[in-house]
Amino acid sequence: MNAFLRWCLTVLFAAATISANVRADDGHQPRTALVIGNAAYSYGPLANSVNDAVDMAAALSDAGFDVILKTDADQAEMKVGIDALARALKERGGVGLFYFAGHGVQVRGENVLLPIGPAPGGEDELMQQSIAVSDAVDAMAAARDGLTIVILDACRNNPLTGAVSGLSRIDSNANLFVSYSTAPGAVALDGEGDNSPYTKHLAAAIGTPALTLEETFKRTLKGVYQETGGLQTPWMSSTFFGNFVFRALPGAGASAVPADPVALTRPGVSEGAAGAVRESVSRLMGVYRAEGINPNGSRYHGIVALTPEGDRVRFTWWIGKDTFTGLGEFAGRMLVVDWGENHPVVYSFNDGVALDGEWADGTATESLQRFSGMSAEAQIRPGGRYTVEGRNPDGSSYTGTVDIRQQGDSYHVAWQVGSSFYRGAGRFAGNVLAVEWGEDTPVVYALGRDGRLEGLWAGGLGEEILTPTP
């Protein structure tokens, strides 16, 4: 077999497309779902995918969806289901959902789902016999302009031989919610019980009243990670900030959708999806105080800078003498941050001023409070003479002057506060100036549009504002 056939789709892919006319109270809208579970493959039968589909159909039905259920479907029957879903959405509108459990692979850059049927003999035959994920998504999007959720729990074990390859990252935007059932390149587990770990926890989260879309997938991520002992970590990405809950509070009716918080962006605010992403990233940029609890129960404080990196967010932590970095993916009003460990940190946010984080294994938490925002665009690099207004960790205030001089890639900083003099060397990147000055943690400044530098020091316990002098 060709090497590409070992590309494992092990992915939950939730695409959320919302327009300006979609109201916050999605509970009032019709809901239609297509659920497919394929297990009886002649070349690699699965134990749980039909069970997963049946249980997911029940959970969605209880959540108010009209469900079209198909099990062990061949290609023709899968196409019939997709056409039926698109037709129902065109006639009724509202929320659409597509769920698939079974085998899937990636071929020529396309994620495809495998129907029941004979084993494909090569790339061309595989493409002809399979269902492209994009075809299902396009059919739903063409039927109407509303919230669309597509869930794939595919390829828990890949029966097709060939070299192992990882699944490529799917870029998100303001109209797309993406969540892999496991990290790209990793293998999802089929489970030892009646369900895969992902579908087990997803169905339970869908059945929990009043959970937002983000909370539903956050609970799923934590549940899968903890059940598998870190062997499987779901991965999410989206900048969809609309409101949606699967189940209202008991007795409250369909209108029991949470009030719309202060979202970072709304459809139609900017020139489209790319603009919405830029707006969302820019509102989170800045320097934050960090307070957290380690797995051993000890507390810590520090400084965190959030800077843009395309449609993602770069995190840099200064905790004591240690520096950590990570890259955050949007998942609605959450950021899922890969920081080099086998568990991500999941931050929830509403207003871009505070972020509440929790490790996927549930052993540690961290809260970030923004001290200073920063310019989203490149500014004149810092330099020259500044006046200083600051606050010491003990709460006392001070004033003084600072001289900043650039030499190559380094910045030389000299403070005069009263009769005391201090010197440091810094680096400037992403409108953040971090200056080492002989203490455990640096001074970390955010550069604003007006040229001011606003920063934290002493692990976030001290603060300082530099204003350019004429």
421 and 457 in a common domain: yes
Q: What is the CATH number of the domain that holds 416?
A: 2.40.128.120
Residue 132 lies in a domain: yes
Residue 257 lies in a domain: no
> In sequence order, what are the residues at sequence separation of 6 or more whose Cβ sits closer than 8 angstroms to the Cβ of residue 391?
397, 398, 462, 463, 464
Distance CA 438, CA 441 (A): 8
308 and 165 in a common domain: no
145 and 41 in a common domain: yes
Last residue of a domain, one of 373, 398, 418: 373
118 and 217 in a common domain: yes
Residue 150 tokens read as 């597509």
> In sequence order, what are the residues at sequence separation of 6 or more whose Cβ sits closer than 8 angstroms to the Cβ of residue 393?
458, 461, 462
181 and 33 in a common domain: yes
Per residue in 257-305, pLDDT (tens digit) is: 433 333 343 333 334 555 556 677 778 899 999 999 999 999 999 999 9
Distance CA 210, CA 213 (A): 10
Residue 124 lies in domain? 3-237+244-249
Q: Could you tell me if 404 and 455 are in contact, meaning their C-beta atoms sit under 8 angstroms apart?
A: no
Residue 68 lies in a domain: yes
280 and 216 in a common domain: no
The number of distinct structural domains making up the chain is 3
155 and 17 in a common domain: yes
Residue 344 lies in a domain: yes
Residue 260 lies in a domain: no
Residue numbers of the chain with a pLDDT score lower than 50:
1-27, 161-168, 253-271
Distance CA 443, CA 432 (A): 10
Residue 317 lies in a domain: yes
Distance CA 143, CA 73 (A): 23
396 and 293 in a common domain: no
Distance CA 271, CA 277 (A): 10
Q: Could you tell me if 316 and 307 are in contact, meaning their C-beta atoms sit under 8 angstroms apart?
A: yes
Residue 284 lies in a domain: yes
Residue 89 lies in a domain: yes
pLDDT the model gives residue 177: 72
Q: How many CB atoms lie within 10 A of CB 256?
A: 16
198 and 146 in a common domain: yes
